[in-house]
Structure 1
Amino acid sequence: MYKPALMLRGAILAALLGASVPPSMAAENAGAVQAWLTTGDQAKLMARGPDARFGRAKPAALVIDIDPATRFQEMQGFGASITDASAYLIQQRMNPAQREGLLRELFGRNPGLGMSFTRLTIGASDFSQSHYSFNDMPRGESDPGLTRFSIEPHRASVLPTIQRALAINPQLKVMASPWSAPGWMKTSDSLVKGSLKPEAYDAFARYLGRYVGAMEKEGVPLFALTLQNEPHFEPEDYPGMRVDPASRAAFIGGHLGPLLAREHPGTTVIDWDHNWDEPDSPATVLKDPVAANYVSGVAWHCYAGNVAVQAQVHAQFPDKDTWFTECSGGRWSPDWAKNLMFFTKTLIIDSTRGWARGVLLWNMALDENDGPHLGGCKDCRGVVTIDSRSGEVTRNVEYYALAHASRFVMPGARRIQSSEGVGELSNVAFRNSDGSLALVVANGAQKEQTFSVRIAGQSFRYTLPGLSVATFAWGSQQ
């Protein structure tokens, strides 16, 4: 979608990373509200502005009312996927100081973005330098005993990256998704295309269980698995696997669910992991009385359909969690301001209003050539771009959209009530467990908008430039 952003330098970097007052703490004095701003023209990139202040002056014509007593889902947080490509660039194309600086910037807090949610690939995706599973066999051969299972392909780059991220942020939650079962388990006898053979259900469940156990031994606990990335898509040139809803229900209910409950009770199953355009598919799985016992939630992607279906499916199954697990930017959409609006409004605001407990973008990092990749997307972009020759980092538009939430919304926060449909302003509000509040506002209009934020009879006024985003953070109102 996007033309890469300019690198942060000088005062802009200091404003982002050098703030002396943690946003999760109470404001410096009663009534003060921190204001952080990113403008569509890139003149301000997550820049700290003058504080706003609550008072009893007459509010503006546009008012966002906040009610902290009306609470919705508990949040895990925001982040991006540590793909093979991302981990390779971080481990193999950065020097130790660059690597540590970037990981602290992404996963650390005060300063830092405080990313607290990430996703790993179980084997290769299109953003890998080779196509592999953790139990490959020569064509025509099989290994039902999993005697050749090994996570060795992750040892050089993925494991040290996720291990360091967890050391920096112990609140980081990790999920994982396969792009394909090993080829010998599939109708295609290949990682590319095909579907899972019913006679391989038991072996694939044990394969996923072995992966969970192996990662636990490496100090990487997984809170959730999906059984297949984008199960209604069979790509032509990278790993993929079709698994229809009836097959997913049979696999989860009869194999994977009982295995995880027995051997890895801390790891749950999340269904779907695909686009908004086919909500009947996860609904079918959740209607299965056996599979539903093992499915904790539904995961969504952004590439087709409308974010509104998240709330619709949640209304059908209110006891199941909602997660947003993939969306990528890329060169196909060059308008920086438009992309800032999409990622902030649709994913940070609308997706969490649609009950998402966590929001993930796709590649955490890609290089100057939008890779490395093997097949698949040729013009996707990472949250950051790492120059493969120098290790220098460019922070892209996705970085700022994530930062406006991840720096201020802590794990355990609750989404709270705030006004919808306030002119062309979109917003979402959160209350952290320490009592502090955060409000993200996106102005989708071309022109500046003046509005008031009102809570408990007091309000503050703010003018937000057109096509810009602000986060407001303040201390407990209770």
Structure 2
Amino acid sequence: MSCSNDNQLHVSVYETSESGNSLTEISEFNKSEDSLTATVRIDTTKRFQKITGFGGAFTESSAYLLNKLSKNNRDEILKAYFSKEGANYSLTRTHMNSCDFSLSQYSYSPVVDDMDLEHFTIKDDMDDLIPMIKDAMSVSEEGFKIFASPWTAAPWMKDNNGWVGGKLLPKYYDTWALFFSKYVDAYKEQGIDIWGFTVENEPHGNGNNWESMHYTPDEMTNFVMNHLGPKLEADGHGDKIILGYDQNRAGLKEWVDSMYKNEETSKYFDGTAIHWYESTYKIYSEDLQYAHNKAPNKYLIETEGCIDSQVPVWKDDAWYWRKEATDWGWDWAKEEEKYLHPKYAPVNRYARDIIGCLNNWVDGWVDWNMVLDRQGGPNWFKNWCVAPIIVDPDSDEVYYTPLYYVMAHFSKYIRPSAEVIGVENSDKELQITAAQNPDGTIAVVVFNEGKTPKNFNISLNGKSKHITISAQALQTIMIPTN
């Protein structure tokens, strides 16, 4: 007579590893002899932030490349990102006007001194960008949120009359606020609902290299409080989300201090947007905690991160697990800040950052370009970067890098409105986060960046399961509702 083990926790385990797994389901766990068994306890009584979503950005570069591929490959990539069988992206970004990942510089307000924006046009988005967004919408069963970010206003609105750097002239504050409102209407006409905005991509600038426009914290707060917020409200767009800041975490405190100074300054800010480029490894936990505590009921979203200043490596998965990549800071950071920019493994950077963010109140995490070519472009400034999917349009080839699978470990299994829950973990070398989905399922993401496999017992409500995670591996463990 056999009896079932009532204390056995039933789980499904999916692993991506340096040894070759790519979101592969694992069911056999042979105990690793050279590792003690850690204890991982899930605590559903401890509840933190609600998840807004995970995803990537629609850029002109990505959309242009998709249109150069065969229909089969184009469709396959969109399904890989947006279908339930794929990564099921739920939160996305796009750019207003051109950015570095555009084919050229353009603005929706091309006519100088058009104060009422009578010549406003999104014609530059019609060939590539809008078709990509609409096709993604048709693939996605559950839908996704999309927010838009400007890199700069048209040069004629700025004090330096240039695409790069400079500030918005105060006399054009109302015109620029109107620009956001017209953008919502123009995209709505194309069947695309805009969920919200960041006020300005990288308001500190970007070393004056590509499209940018500078604000101080108080200048941005003034613009939102007295111009953008009231204009969107007056035009019936008061439901659109406004995220302030939108640059690196190290500068977070002074921005949230300005945005959330009092009820009046806070009124139109729905949350804070952050990037990760200040360091290749540092999470900036204290800054994230500070931002959350300053406005605990508002969004805190990572709106951009990528392996930057790097030409992608083609069809060599192992490279993405090795500490060979460098970022902008490797060459350009001030000498006293070089320590923040060591060489790193791209997979490690993504996995540990997303886990670290989720464990410090961040509720959304958005990757940068979804698709780039073998050079890391096209990019008019030649600011090459890596994307999770790399394509060669000349030979119609597609390469799903390990970064694609890393993103899917989170986006596919941790769904919008999931709540981050408590985890007790006895092995500090394992990086772990957990969230309970609206349907009751629990997703536990475990990252082992070490060179040896690890054993752990995962437990919930008195039931447990022994699991082994490979060396240099990421696992998502799904626990059903009962």
Q: Same fold (TM over 0.5)?
A: yes
Q: C-alpha deviations, 1:288-337, integer Å up to 9, x for none?
A: 54231000111110000542121221022212211011111143798422
Summarize deviations over 1:427-455 as a string: whole Å, max 9, x none: 11111111111110001222211111111
The answer to whether the Cα contact below 8 Å between 2:15 and 2:475 also exists between their aligned partners in 1 is: yes
| Equivalent residue letter for 1:201 | Y
Deviation digits for residues 210-232 of structure 1 (CA, Å, limit 9, x no counterpart): 11111122121111101100001
- Counting only pairs closer than 5 Å after superposition, residues 49-128 of structure 1 correspond to structure 2 as 49-50=26-27, 61-90=37-66, 92-109=67-84, 111-128=85-102
Once the two structures are superposed, residues 350-376 of structure 1 have per-residue CA deviations (whole angstroms, 9 ceiling, x without a partner) of: 111122221111111101111110115
Contact 1:35/1:51 (8 A) holds in 2 = no
Deviation at 1:421, TM superposition (A): 6.4
**SS of aligned partner of 1:72:** strand
- 1:248 paired with 2:220, answer yes
1:339 shift after superposition: 2.0
Residues 201 and 251 in structure 1, CA contact (< 8 A), matched pair in contact too: yes
Tell me the residue number matched to 2:351.
344
Count of aligned residue pairs for this structure pair = 436
Q: SS in structure 2 opposite 1:190?
A: coil
User: Is 2:232 the counterpart of 1:260?
Assistant: yes
User: In the alignment, is residue 163 of structure 1 matched against residue 170 of structure 2?
Assistant: no
**Is 2:291 the counterpart of 1:313?**
yes
Q: Flag the 1:332–1:422 CA change in 2: closer, same or farther, 3 A.
A: farther
The 5 A counterparts of 1:309-388 are 309-330=287-308, 331=310, 335-337=319-321, 338-347=345-354, 349-375=355-381, 377-378=383-384, 380-388=385-393
- Aligned residue in 1 for 2:167: 195
**Residue ranges of structure 2 left out of the alignment (5+ in a row):** 1-7, 31-35, 314-318, 322-344
Deviation at 1:377, TM superposition (A): 1.6
- Decide whether aligned partners of structure 1 residues 234 and 427 sit closer, same or farther in structure 2, where only a CA change above 3 A counts: closer
**TM-score, length of structure 2 as denominator length:** 0.86
Q: TM-score, normalised by structure 1?
A: 0.87
8 Å contact kept, 1:446–1:466: yes
Distance 2:152 2:246 in 1: 13
1:462 counterpart residue number:
467
The whole-number CA distance in structure 1 between the counterparts of 2:205 and 2:382 is 12
1:83-142 CA distances to partner (integer Å, 9 max, x unpaired)? Answer: 11011111x211222211211111000x211111110000111011101111123xxx42
Contact 1:108–1:114 (8 Å) recurs in 2: yes
**Seq. identity, %:** 28
1:1-48 Cα offsets, whole Å, 9 max, x none, are xxxxxxxxxxxxxxxxxxxxxxxxxxxxx843111111124x212111
Alignment of 1:41-52 (within 5 A): 41=19, 43-50=20-27
Which residue in 2 is equivalent to 1:239?
211
Cα deviations across residues 400-420 of structure 1 (Å, max 9, x unaligned)? 210111111122211111125
| Cα separation, 2, equivalents of 1:257 and 1:186 | 21
User: In the alignment, what sits opposite 2:271?
Assistant: 297
CA shift at 1:466, angstroms?
Answer: 2.1
Letter matched to residue 113 of structure 2? S
Work out whether residues 93 and 390 of structure 1, in 8 Å CA contact, stay in contact via their aligned partners in 2. no
Q: C-alpha deviations, 1:164-212, integer Å up to 9, x for none?
A: 1122224201011000011111111122221111111100000111111
1:272 and 1:281 in contact (8 A); partners too: no
- Structure 1 residue ranges, 4+ long, deviating more than 4 angstroms after superposition: 332-335
How far apart, CA to CA, are the structure 2 residues paired with 1:145 and 1:261?
17
Listed as ranges, the gaps of 5+ residues in structure 1 are 1-29, 54-59
